[in-house]
Every structure is written in structure tokens, then in C-alpha cells.
Amino acid sequence: MRASSTGVAHAGGGRIELTELSKWYGDQQVLRSIDLAIEAGEFFSLLGPSGCGKTTTLRLIGGFEQADDGIVRIDGADMRDVPPERRPVNTVFQSYALFPHQTVEENVGFGLRFHRIDKAERRRRVGEALELVRLGEYASRRPHQLSGGQQQRVALARSLVLRPRVLLLDEPLGALDAKLRRTLQLELRQLHQEVGITFVYVTHDQEEALTMSDRLAVMRAGEIDQIGTPREVYDSPATAYVADFLGIANLLPATVAEDGRVRIGEAVLHADTRDVQGECTVLVRPERVRLVDVSAGALRATVEQVVFAGPVTHVHLAVGDRSLQAVVPNDGAELVARAGEAVGVDLPADALRVLAA
């Protein structure tokens, strides 16, 4: 064990390897030969829509399901015949499942009752876990006396007090309102940095994955489309699916005119075409679209709709028969055109991502 900055000791290790992992439910294959390595101490997110296989992957790591093919290893040890309670793993679900008749302290310490730990040591470890999630003063309260965010912290403390090498989190913020979710995203990230164990986080919310993860995997139909850091996956998506799923994406049909140039409609733009040839799709994020004088833009557009959203304004454009969205900061530096006006559109070369058709 080693101690975190809070004084809470935790186990080292926590590296996860999934090798050719497959799972069937009846005649439906929900995971297709997943290969994935999650490093010890990493905050790793599995991101994708409902039914893509992310929760099944989490349950296979935790031992709640058995793979039909493939192997789960934790720190090199094959987990095939290891039941959930003997794996160095704990899980936080969307439903916190706190015992209503027990205090916060009793809920957090419940799992320690099944370990050979004396009462004084149990009390000390529960106190440390509650301080870690900033609930020390709530030890004597019952779950119904807590907010949703506080109940989520109790569930985290209950898992962390057992000192797992891996913490699995299955959409734990899904039941909370948007403002509280954003607050707890940052708190979870800070908590991970303090305890230093491996977090594997399942979510369909791209903002959560981008905010908290060291790396993430974007999943689709039982497969992984791309693995990378949040910036890598957002700025350089490997497929149009990843581009569209992760944030707002302008996806424009185009053709590679020559090496380093793409044709969009009548306009030929500079772009890194890499090894893509012929028909392609060009991705540009809305925040990289620049609105300029109609005579200066590479493309001519008509403003269809202008939506004020506080710090930014979303401008919906028609470029011929194509739609394009721009996000303009409300900082006074750029004028926002009105609906019906003609504008020029500038697409910087470094903002364009060329994807094979």
C-alpha cells in the first residue's frame, strides 16, 4: 500500500488487459473481439450510445458477466475463474443502493465487516474515506437526509474504503441534474488524482468523457472505433462516426482534388489529405468556422438561424445544399450576422480533417 495526499492508503497496480473479448446474448453478439489495455492509475472512459457494449465490457471486468471468448487480466492475472468478490475491483453504479436504515458511516463501513479488521481500524478507515469525499461531518446522517450529489459521494467512499486497485463507474452521475453533474465531474477528476487508482468510467455523455478522462475509447455496435486522449479523439477523429458522436461536427462531402487540396462544391481548399484519395468527408468543428465578409470567404453562405447561448452564439448556415454551423464567441471581437444575410466562410487548413468516404 501507499498513501495518497489525504492519508488514505491504496494498492498499487490496476493495469487491465482485454484480449479478443467477445460476448453473446442469445443469437446477438454484443462484443466483438475487443482488444484494450488500460494502464495502472489511468482514468479511462468507455464512451458510446446505448447498446454499444460499454456496460457489458465493464461487467466483464468486474466479473458480473463471463466472456464467451477472450481473457480479462488485471495486473497480469487471468480473471476467468475469479468471482467478483475476489477481484481487486469495486463498482459504483448509477443506483447508489445505500441502506436507508443505516447512517452514512455504517453504509461506508459495511463492506469492511467481511474482512478481518478490528473495530478501531474500521472506524479509522471509514473516517479517512469520508474525509476524502468531503463528508466527514455527515457521518451520522441517514441517506434520506442527503442530496443526490452527497449520496453519490457516499457510494464512492463505500467503494474506496475497500482499497481496490480498480474502480469501475457505471454512469454514476446519470441521475443528477446538469449543473450538479458538471460540478461532480471536476470532483471525480480531483478524487482520482488523489487516490491514484485505476478508474474505468462508462458514459454516453461526451462532455463527461472529455472533461475527466486521461484516455477514452469510442464504442459502436460492440466494437471500438478509436482510442486516444480527449484532444486526439476530438481533434483527429478516425471515422465520421467518432467525429459526429464526439461534439458538434460539420461533415461536408468533398473530393480530394490533389495532394493537400480538397474540393467542396466549387471551392478548392488546402487540407492535410494524408493518404485519402477520391471521394471523402471533410470534418470541421463549429468553433473553427470563421465568418468573414462575403467577398473574402472561400465559401459563400446564407445565414439561416442565429441562436444566442450565453458565452457563444450558434450560427446555422446554408452553403448551397449543405448545412454548416459556426460557433461565435460573444466577446465583441466578431460581429454576428442576422438571419437571411449573405456571409463568407473561412475554413483554415489546420481545422480540416479529411476522412475516407
Model pLDDT for residues 44-103, shown as the tens digit of each residue: 999 999 999 999 999 999 999 999 999 999 999 999 999 998 999 999 887 778 899 999
For residues 92 and 142, what is the distance between their CA atoms, to the nearest angstrom?
19
Q: What is the pLDDT of residues 286-345, one digit of tens each?
A: 999 999 988 888 899 999 999 998 999 999 999 988 899 999 998 877 667 889 999 999
Q: What is the CATH number of the domain that holds 257?
A: 2.40.50.140
Reported in sequence order, the residue ranges of 95-187 that DSSP labels E, i.e. its strands, are 166-170
Please check whether residues 207 and 62 belong to one and the same domain. yes
Please check whether residues 131 and 57 belong to one and the same domain. yes
Q: What is the pLDDT of residues 144-199, one digit of tens each?
A: 999 888 898 898 889 888 889 999 999 888 777 778 788 888 888 988 998 899 99
Instruction: Identify the sign of the CA torsion 48, 283, 297, 341.
Output: negative
Please check whether residues 34 and 175 belong to one and the same domain. yes
Half-sphere exposure of 2 (CA within 13 A, CB side): 10
Q: Which residues pair with 280 in a beta bridge?
A: 254, 356
Q: What value, to the nearest 5°, has the Cα angle with vertex 242 and ends 240 and 244?
A: 65
Phi then psi for residue 68, to 5 deg, are -80, -35
For residues 144 and 156, what is the distance between their CA atoms, to the nearest angstrom?
17
pLDDT, position 296: 83
Give residue for cell 466578431: 334
Task: Say how many domains are in the chain.
Answer: 2
For residues 99 and 8, what is the distance between their CA atoms, to the nearest angstrom?
24
What is the extent of the structural domain holding 268?
248-356
For residues 273 and 276, what is the distance between their CA atoms, to the nearest angstrom?
6
Q: Is residue 208 part of a domain?
A: yes
Q: What percent of the chain has pLDDT over 90?
A: 61
